[in-house]
Amino acid sequence: MKKIFSLAIFCLCLVGVYGQESQIPDGIYMLEKAELTITNYDTKGVVEHKVITDKESIDIQNMHLANIFIALDFMNGELQECVMADGQKYRLDETMKLQPAMEKSEQTLTKMEEFRSDYLFIEKELFPYLIKVEGNKLIVTFAKYNFGQTEVNYTMEAELVENMVKQKDR
């Protein structure tokens, strides 16, 4: 009886996880806005607040803004490709690192060093994020993280939230 009960709980958990993955409707989603909020960790006072509505406003040298997605392409509830701030299409490999979104044969014909000038995010790991569906929008919330700078004597916390709007179905 105990085994059957455990198996039933396990199956319910699997269904729940699968259901969460498949909740993202297929289609291409484009950046509507990204909002970066940097606060003083102790006082929670806002140190910096930016709202970005187009890719031209993204400073890819800024570590807080480099993770902004310009576009996301979902099929069967899974991320197929994403366009990052450098304007290039990427896929996530099996280690969850960004790779150019091209066939393996194309990648082997061209050396990775040749991609580096165009594909600025090769092998970059994305910060952890959570995606929530609201109608035809995706809300992408990246994990908050703490950091410090030599110019200030307090710890800061950064939060990045993106709104992506569905453009078309697959």
Q: What are the tens digits of pLDDT across the range 73-99?
A: 999 989 999 999 889 999 988 888 898
Among the listed residues 122, 117, 113, 129, the one whose alpha carbon sits nearest the alpha carbon of residue 72? 129
Paired tokens of 88: 């290039």
Proportion of the chain in helix, strand, coil states, percent, rounded to 5:
20, 40, 40
What's the pLDDT score for residue 124? 87
127 secondary structure, DSSP code: P
pLDDT at 52 exceeding the cut of 80: yes
pTM score above 0.85: no
pLDDT at 32 exceeding the cut of 70: yes
Chain-centre distance of CA 170, in angstroms?
Answer: 20
What's the pLDDT score for residue 108? 56
Domain boundaries, the chain: 24-168
d(CA 95, CA 106): 20
pLDDT at 54 exceeding the cut of 80: yes
97 secondary structure, DSSP code: B
Residue 162: strand, helix, or coil: strand
- pLDDT tens, position by position, 92-150: 888 888 988 876 656 555 566 666 677 888 888 888 999 999 999 999 999 999 998 88
